[in-house]
Structure 1
Amino acid sequence: MMGIMNLRMRRFLWNRMLDVLTYMILLVAIFPVGWMVLTSLKTSWDAQSLPPVWLFVPTFENYQALFSSGSTSSNFGGLLWNSVVVSFVSTVLSIVFGALAAYSLSRFRLKRGKDIAIWILSTRMFPPAATLVPVFMMMSWFDLIDTYAALIIPYTAFNLSFVVWMLKGFFDDIPVDLEESAMIDGCSRMSAFVRIILPLIAPGLAATAIICLMFSWNEFMFALVLSRNEVVTAPVIANQFITMYGVQWGELTAASTLMTAPVLIFAILVRNHMIKGLTMGSVK
C-alpha cells in the first residue's frame, strides 16, 4: 500500500514539474511578443528609457504616427495591402501548382520519379540569398521591377518545393481505389481529384497554406531588392526606423505589431485545421 502511495506521489510531483517547465518555456516564447506590444503602447521617451519603464499610461501615438501625413511611413496602409496581395496570390499559386505536382508524383509512375522528387526537395535547401542577383537580373530584363509579379513569382517558386513535399505525403496516404471507383462512376481523373481527393486532404491543404502564407508575409530580402515605391511590402518598413540617429523603437514595435496581428489571428482561427494537417498521417 505504501509503495502504491509513493508511486502516485512521485507521478504527481513529476507531472507538476513538467507543468512548471512547460509554463516556463511558454513564458520565454511569449515574452518577446508581449514586450513588442507593450513597447508599441509607450511614448517615444518611455520606449527608449533605461531601465525599462514597466508602469506607464498606454498611448496610441506610435500607431497614429504610422498613418499620419508627413511621416516616412504615412503609406503604411498601402504597404499592408501590398503584403496581403503578394502573400495571398503567391500562396494560392503555390498550392494550385504544388498540389498538381504532388499528385502526379504520388499517382503516376514517372521515369526517374524519385530523382525528380529529390531534386524538388533540394531546391528547398538552396539558400534564397544565392539566387537574389540572378532573380534581380531576370526581373530587370523583363521590366518587372517594382511590380507585383516581381515578388509573386519568386515567392511562389520558393514555396513550391515545400508544398510538393508536404502534399505528396497526404496523397500517398489516400487509397487509389477511391479515385478508380469515382472514374468507374463517370468522373474524369481531374474531376475525381477535385471532388474526392482534395476534400480528403483539406487539413493538409490548410496547414500548408498557412505556412506558405507566413513565409511570404514575413519575407524581407526580396521585397527590399525587387521593389522601389509601388509594391513595397510591410516588412520593408522596419528598415526605415533604424536611422543614423538611433532606433525609433515605438514606431518600429507598432509596425511589427500590426504586421504580426493578421497572421497570428488567422493562425488562431484555423489552428484546429493546422494541427490536424501537421499530425495527419503520423499515426497509421
Structure 2
Amino acid sequence: MKQSKVQKGLFLLMLALIIIPILFPFVWMLMSSFKTQVDIISWPPKFIFTPVMQNYNRVFFEQNFLRYMKNSVIVSVVSVMLSLVLGLPAAYSIARYKQQKLSMFILIARLMPGISFLMPWYIVFSRLRLMDSYVALILSHMLICLPLVVWVMAPYFDSVPRELEEAAMVDGLTQQRAFTKILLPLSGPGVVTATTLSFIFSWNNFMFSQVLSQQKTRTLPIAVYNFLSYVEVDWGAVMAAAVTIMAPAILLTMFFQKYVVKGLTMGAVKG
C-alpha cells in the first residue's frame, strides 16, 4: 500500500512537471489579456490584480476583429473542405493501389518550407489579379491542408480490410459507392482528425496571409500587427488578440478529442 502511494505521488509529480511548462504560457497570456499595460510590465509580476476589459474592447471595437475573424473562418473552412474533397480520394488511391511515387511527391510538398511557394504564388495571383482575394488565400492554404489530409487518411484507409469493399461490390455497389458508403463511415474518426488538424494549421497560418492578403482579406494572425508600432507595443491588446485567435482552435480540439481518441483505439471492423 505504501509503495502504491509512493508510485502515485511520483506519477503526479512527473505529470505536473510536464503539464506546468506547457500550460504556463497560456495562463500567462490569459491573465495578461485582463491586465493594464502597467501591470503587464511591472516587476515582480503581479498575480493578484484587478481585471479590466479595455484590451478586449480595443480588439473588438477599435480594430474590428470580427471582420478579420470572418476572413479566417471563410479561408480555413473552405480550404479544409476542398482539401477533404481532393485528399480523401487521393489517400484511398494511395492506400489501395500502393502508389508510392504519388505519396512521396505529396510528402515532399508537405516538407518543403512554405516560403518557397510564396514567390510563384505572388507572381501567378498578381498576373491573374487575384491578390487580396479569398481565392488566393484558399488555394495557398490548401498547400498546408491537402498533404496533411492525405498523410493522415492513407494509413487509415490501408487499415480497413479490402474484403469489406469486395463484399459491398458483390452486393451491387460500384467501387465509388463502396468508398462513400462503406469506407468513409468506417474512417469517420480519421476524417475528424484530419479535419481538425488541417483547420488548426490553416487558422494559425501567418506567412501566406502576410504576403497575399491586404486590408479586405486580412486574417486574424496578421491583424495582431495593428497593436505593434515603432513607439510601443500594446501588450494587453496583443494578449487579448492572441486569446481570441487561439480560442476557436482550442475549443475545436477539446470538442473533437474524445471522438479522435475513440476512433484511433477501436478497430475499423469492430461491430
Q: Which amino acid aligns with 1:195?
A: K
Aligned CA-pair RMSD: 1.9
Structure 2 Cα separation of the partners of residues 271 and 255 of structure 1: 25
| Structure 1 partner of 2:32 | 39
What residue ranges of structure 2 are gaps of 5+ in the alignment? Answer: none
- Which residue of the other structure, out of 4, 7, 31, is the alignment partner of 1:14? 7
1:1-284 → structure 2 map (5 Å cutoff)? 9-10=2-3, 12-68=5-61, 71=62, 73=63, 75-108=64-97, 113-277=99-263
Tell me, yes or no, if the aligned pair for 2:134 and 2:217 is still in contact at 8 Å.
Answer: yes
Tell me, yes or no, if the aligned pair for 1:91 and 1:213 is still in contact at 8 Å.
Answer: yes
What residue ranges of structure 1 are gaps of 5+ in the alignment? Answer: 1-7
Tell me, yes or no, if the aligned pair for 2:141 and 2:202 is still in contact at 8 Å.
Answer: yes
Calculate the TM-score normalised by the size of structure 2. Answer: 0.93
Shift of 1:138: 1.2
Structure 1 Cα separation of the partners of residues 231 and 193 of structure 2: 42
Calculate the TM-score normalised by the size of structure 1. Answer: 0.89
1:203–1:90 distance in 2 versus 1, CA, 3 Å? same
Structure 2 Cα separation of the partners of residues 15 and 56 of structure 1: 35
The DSSP-based 3-state class of the residue aligned with 1:50 is: coil
Tell me, yes or no, if the aligned pair for 1:207 and 1:278 is still in contact at 8 Å.
Answer: no
Shift of 1:262: 1.2
Tell me, yes or no, if the aligned pair for 1:206 and 1:274 is still in contact at 8 Å.
Answer: yes
Identity %: 36
Structure 2 Cα separation of the partners of residues 77 and 46 of structure 1: 27
Q: Which amino acid aligns with 2:144?
A: F
Q: Which amino acid aligns with 1:135?
A: W
Shift of 1:47: 2.3
Asked which structure has the greater CA Rg, the reply is: 1
The DSSP-based 3-state class of the residue aligned with 2:38 is: helix
Tell me, yes or no, if the aligned pair for 1:205 and 1:277 is still in contact at 8 Å.
Answer: no
